[in-house]
Structure 1
Amino acid sequence: MSKKQILITLIIILIIFMVGFVLRVESTNLPGVPLDEKAYYQDQNGLPYMYEMDSYYNYRLTKNYLEHGHTGDTFINGTEWDFHSYAPSGVPMDYPPLIVYLTAFVYKFINLFASVPLLVVCFWIPAFVGPLAGIMTYFFVRRYTNNYGAAAAGILAVTAPLYLVRTVPGWFDTDMFNVFFPILVTWLFVEAVTAQKFKNQIILSLSAAFAMVLFALAWNGWQYQFYLLVIFTSIYILWRKIRGGNVKNCAYIISIYFVSTLLLVGIFTGFLNVINLFEEPQTLLKMLSSHGVWYPWPNVYVSVSELQKPSIWDVMSGVGPAFFGGILGILWILRVMINPKLKKRFLNRMTWFFYLMLIAWTLIGFVSFEEGSRFLILLISPLVISSGILIGLVINYLSLLKENHVLNIFQREGVIKIFKVVIILLVTVPAVFSVYESTCALQTGANDDLWDSALWINNNTQNNTIVIVEWGYGHLFSAIANRSVSFDGRTAYIETLSIRQFDGAYKFGSESPSSSREYWINHAFSTDNQTLSLGIFRMLTTSGDMGYITLDQYTKNTTQSVMILNSILGVDNETAKEILLTKYGLNEEQAENVLQYTHPSDSRPFVLVTSINTLGRGKAIFKFGEWDFNDVKEGNYTYSVGTFVINGTILNSTNKVVMNMKTRDITWNGSYPYSFILIKNGTMKEQRINNNSNFSVAVLMDVNKTVVIDKSLENSMFMKLWVENSNSTMFKPIYRKGTVTVWQYV
């Protein structure tokens, strides 16, 4: 490679990196937030709060690693344990640690020269790692086409809207690795297959295996790329064998790669991860079944937005221009591949092995949507590669114009170069501008009220206090309040399901952790029985899942166990024992075994955290909290939240509530409510309107919100604590900051 070529390569790398970096940095200005509100969404360092709440989980693990040398809180029987999550029992630490190791190294290095807080380092890491995927894409695509196509592929990679949004500063999560590593692993593997010397084949196969191990250390979903390479290559070998081709070298390569990957994954991540590789498909099938994994408990994962199946528009907008470019590229590449002359001239390095793998890779990306929109990121890699090769072909086709002696203008090299630059700009400029809308739509996961509430809990509660908060904020409070949380963003730890039967640390297998926690917390808020709500919270924060697990051993029927627990958790120990003995036929020993967990003599302190900004959470609370275990279906209740504006004397809300402010005449969808609740300046007034109606309407004047709720739920704990924010229950506010309230049983 000449000095000129090296210089061109360095310039292209710099352009790709800077395009990716600058676009990501733009998000730190909070472009979608009015100027006078920006400070509310910025932390003590003047930076936006993290966009993704999982970021605070990764921050906490990194902090643990720097302070203690391990990511968990302690060790139990040689197993790293995290007591901050899924309290009170905690969970074995199973998280892929590469993000922790990388951040700890960068933090240590930077602090050799300046004092930079760990949270700041965590904030900026994604903006530097994200653009590296574009550079890797550039090198991969350049193997098959020219610098123009390779550069375009790199820019399309760093500007893919979904990937860009998930790698902005403040999105400190494993998504930053999910384009870089699949491309690196696949590139090394393809190079191994196409290498001519056996020595190079071995080196590249081992390199691909090592890269796959790094991917396994980076993300729990690394198996997708492993399945792709192994299954596709095996089918390819079989196809070649049937056609009488030589498959010896290819068989050697896949064997070396397969064995090396399993061995290295076992050494560096634990051999349970190797078992998980073969057990994961079975778990996936169970997840996709009608009953799900935790039948008959509700499945909390259906409420996770990133695990919802994306629409075709979500796919197109998430991938960006590479969606159409990639699909067209696959078709155009085929057109060239089947023509020996064109192939020799324009795609001389392209092999049928890689082309067919590119198709399989793309198909795997589409199939992965079954698991949710987050896995859309797996489609970006093959489509940007295909798009880059397509653009390279278009650029190369321009050389044909020089052979056209009719149009003399194309005989000039300068004109051809201008056309090449124009084509690149036509592809990349729209990609760059399309992501601006995505960054404008970003909202920080936290705000001053949540942050200050977490700090207050840290400074004003006992160290063994458990925080019960909407699971989406669990990581924030476990990290900043430094308190254990009952439920957080890892929810039921579904990533560990496939290996629990092989890991003695999970004493109860799939029963704990499980989505049962979602039901009990939501039921404590959806009920109007205050003593039942208190009983549920006491059970969960003191003995966790042991109450229902123990009772299940006697009833052998989860539905019956839930019914029994709901009948005893709201009464005292003596009454509960009488119910167990006389109504449900448990013997003395069985009753005592259950009651030690449901009615603990020494309950652990806990606090509840609610936020008026998360009123939309009510839909999930009633959906799962009023779960029908007999028919195994969600509760069917009316619940709607809207934001209102007042024009003159008429209040209009986005959820179709209309109110005359002068006469107090109020309707929802044209119908009068059972009752009207007005909440203003901390006071509440309720007015009965239509006894035949089945819904009530609450108007929250201080926050411009309207809530429509089923008549049967208007006295629920959710309504009292979340909506009315009242002192009328057994729980009293011990701290209020703006939209957030911290409650404690008094």
Structure 2
Amino acid sequence: MENQKVKTILKSVVIIAILFVLVFGLRAQAADIGGVPNEIKANYMDADGLPYFSEMDSYFNLRMTQDYMDHGYFGDTLVNGSGWDMHSYYPSGREVGSYQPMIAYVTSFLYGIVNMFQEMSIKEVAFWTGAFISSFAVIPVYIFTRRITNDYGAIAATLIVALGPNYITHTFAGFFDTDMFNVTLPLFFILFFVEAVKSDKLVHRIIFAILSVITIGIYSLSWTGYMFYPAVMIIVMIVFFILCFYLDIEVLEPFKNYSNKLSWLVNQKELFPVALIVVLGAIGLLFTVGIGGILDAISGLTGGFSLLSTSNDVWPNVFISVAEMQRPNLLAGGLPGAFLANTSGIINGIGGIVAFFGVLLVLFTFIQRLLRLRSVKVKGDSSKPHKSKRKATSVRKEQDRFRISLKDIGSFGSTDEINRSKRYNVLYLSLFLVWILASAAAVTQGTRFIQVLVVPMGICAGIFVGYAVDYVKANIDDDRTLFLIAIVCSFLIAFPITQIYYGLDNALMIGSIIFVALVVISGVFIYLRKSIRDSDVSIKKALVV
């Protein structure tokens, strides 16, 4: 393995590890019951000295996990071979044989690992499981975004997604529910799906296709709404093929080039992995949830859009009384609130108005790039360069990696490069458009689904950050422009702090001090040195970045 490739991998591992510690640490703070005076904290703890779980579902999941560890099935007893919980719907109880078991499997596994080193009760392990498992979301978010843009964009996307208000409020320490899986597993599925479609080697397509099937199989045991993501990816690929046909992009070869249809199918780069995932996925889901579970999941895709309906039954719909099932506002807090991240509005839930416009800019750039690629011609010599001028494979791949930047359009050495760039652009455009629109439709059924929307929006916002960094590095050569960018960024950092009204005294003063300090530091680095053209450009631009 080349040294450059090893360094890139090691750097990514270190960054992911730091991000994991950061997001887990923020979730772990809930164990301290912050904001509650020390003299009354005991009122918020149970008999074991552990803070109370944050909602009722957590206690139900804990009880199911305890049942599984105690006698190997969910519920207190078996009725007609199915688990029956006598604590729900008392005194008759209810059937829990169809309970999503992954949360119990994972918690019992962690319980075994933890107790190899120190004694800890299952309740204590469950208390930390949500915060721990949800923090693994940093891995697929970072890798997925890094495959499109640079480290800066990948880090930004990871923080936006992993710390999304509607996600972190359902995955902090003491929140023991299936939300812990709702970013990590879907993102791994989509990551493997996209890599299967993009891979040039047949063996890699097969491996990634199998990994995506395994991931969705695990997810089917974790959350009842798992079918949302396979449906999204199927629609993505339908849109992809339609756009490629409309734009005259070669994605399917003629039958006449192959001896039989099977040979033709195996050699279709995009079609084969999709067909393989559909076939293997159907077989895998038959093993995990059965034919009934598959049909229920498919019907649930449309049934989910009637969650808030009040006219389907003579009885009141209890969902409309649940806070997280209320239809969210687009934006909360007026103009000041537009820059804040919170659970009160859709735009707030994805990181604020800046992130929202960043997403729109990224989608616009994908479209603009695609339009420019339609008329691009081969430029340059496609023959191999002299051995002394050849670059390492890892460096070449890094430079040729698909980016949303437009600066390299037109510098292709062959029609294959042009066609590949067109296919990648259409693939990502189809992915983000369908993913965002489908997630936005889900959000209309309750605020809790903002955590679904924040994933594609957060990734696009991260891509925007990566693009902005590349633009600053390549195009900003004026001190005044750099300083103006630094002032705007300082404001975006400091302003949200001034709006904190709980848990922080003198927030306005603290935010103002931070703003002034950042502006002064920026001015010192930019103006108290030589002109940017005669000085160390990397230091000034690194500060702005």
TM-score, normalization by structure 2: 0.71
Aligned counterparts, 1:315-714, within 5 A: 315-321=346-352, 322-340=355-373, 342-343=405-406, 345=408, 350-401=424-475, 404=477, 407=478
8 Å CA contact retained: 1:161, 1:438: no
Q: Counterpart of 1:275 in structure 2: which amino acid?
A: L
Counterpart for residue 179 of structure 2:
175
8 Å CA contact retained: 2:239, 2:430: no
Structure 1 range deviating more: 345-354 or 173-182 = 345-354
Q: Deviations over 1:580-629 (max 9, x none)?
A: xxxxxxxxxxxxxxxxxxxxxxxxxxxxxxxxxxxxxxxxxxxxxxxxxx
Aligned counterparts, 1:120-135, within 5 A: 120-135=124-139
Larger radius of gyration: 1
Q: Deviations over 1:436-467 (max 9, x none)?
A: 87999xxxxxxxxxxxxxxxxxxxxxxxxxxx
Shift of 1:128: 1.5
Counterpart for residue 142 of structure 2:
138
Shift of 1:14: 2.4
Q: Deviations over 1:16-68 (max 9, x none)?
A: 11221221122222223233322111223433211122111111111011111
Q: Deviations over 1:243-281 (max 9, x none)?
A: 554344433222211122121112022332111133224
Gaps of 5+ in 2: 253-267, 332-344, 377-404, 410-419, 505-545
Structure 1 range deviating more: 180-189 or 275-284 = 275-284
Distance 1:105 1:432 in 2: 40
Work out whether 1:35 is the aligned partner of 2:32: no
8 Å CA contact retained: 2:240, 2:426: no
Distance 1:221 1:344 in 2: 41
Q: Deviations over 1:369-412 (max 9, x none)?
A: 2321111111011011101111111111123237x5xx4999xx
Change (3 A) 1:134 1:32: same
Distance 1:296 1:437 in 2: 44
Change (3 A) 1:271 1:419: farther
Change (3 A) 1:115 1:189: same
Give me the CA root mean square deviation: 3.3
Shift of 1:335: 3.9
Change (3 A) 1:147 1:352: same
Structure ranking higher in strand proportion: 1
Distance 2:167 2:230 in 1: 21
Q: Could you tell me which of 300, 309, 312 is aligned with 2:330? A: 312
Aligned counterparts, 1:243-262, within 5 A: 245-247=250-252, 248-262=268-282
Q: Counterpart of 1:49 in structure 2: which amino acid?
A: Y
Work out whether 1:80 is the aligned partner of 2:77: no
Work out whether 1:159 is the aligned partner of 2:172: no
**Aligned-partner SS, 2:444:** helix
Change (3 A) 1:435 1:359: farther
Counterpart for residue 13 of structure 1:
16
Distance 1:434 1:14 in 2: 30
Distance 1:141 1:386 in 2: 8
Shift of 1:242: 5.4
Q: What's the % identity of the aligned pairs? A: 30
Counterpart for residue 283 of structure 1:
303
8 Å CA contact retained: 1:326, 1:382: no
Distance 1:261 1:237 in 2: 21
Q: How many residues align?
A: 428
Counterpart for residue 543 of structure 2:
none
Distance 1:431 1:306 in 2: 28
**Aligned-partner SS, 1:51:** coil
Q: Deviations over 1:467-488 (max 9, x none)?
A: xxxxxxxxxxxxxxxxxxxxxx
8 Å CA contact retained: 2:65, 2:108: yes
8 Å CA contact retained: 1:55, 1:171: yes
8 Å CA contact retained: 2:128, 2:174: yes
Q: Counterpart of 1:266 in structure 2: which amino acid?
A: L
Structure 1 range deviating more: 137-146 or 282-291 = 282-291
Distance 1:267 1:66 in 2: 23
8 Å CA contact retained: 1:165, 1:438: no
Q: Counterpart of 1:306 in structure 2: which amino acid?
A: E
8 Å CA contact retained: 2:244, 2:426: no
Distance 1:432 1:68 in 2: 50
Counterpart for residue 413 of structure 1:
none
Q: Deviations over 1:334-367 (max 9, x none)?
A: 3444444854638969521122211111111111
Distance 1:35 1:186 in 2: 45
Distance 1:231 1:175 in 2: 24
**Aligned-partner SS, 2:218:** helix
Counterpart for residue 414 of structure 2:
none
Distance 2:130 2:327 in 1: 26
Counterpart for residue 98 of structure 1:
102
**Aligned-partner SS, 1:16:** helix
8 Å CA contact retained: 1:21, 1:128: yes
Q: Counterpart of 1:50 in structure 2: which amino acid?
A: F
8 Å CA contact retained: 2:75, 2:84: yes
Counterpart for residue 301 of structure 1:
319
**Aligned-partner SS, 1:81:** strand
Change (3 A) 1:243 1:391: closer
Shift of 1:426: 5.9
Gaps of 5+ in 1: 411-415, 441-746
8 Å CA contact retained: 1:327, 1:383: no
Q: Counterpart of 2:318 in structure 1: which amino acid?
A: V
8 Å CA contact retained: 1:134, 1:153: no
8 Å CA contact retained: 2:224, 2:297: no
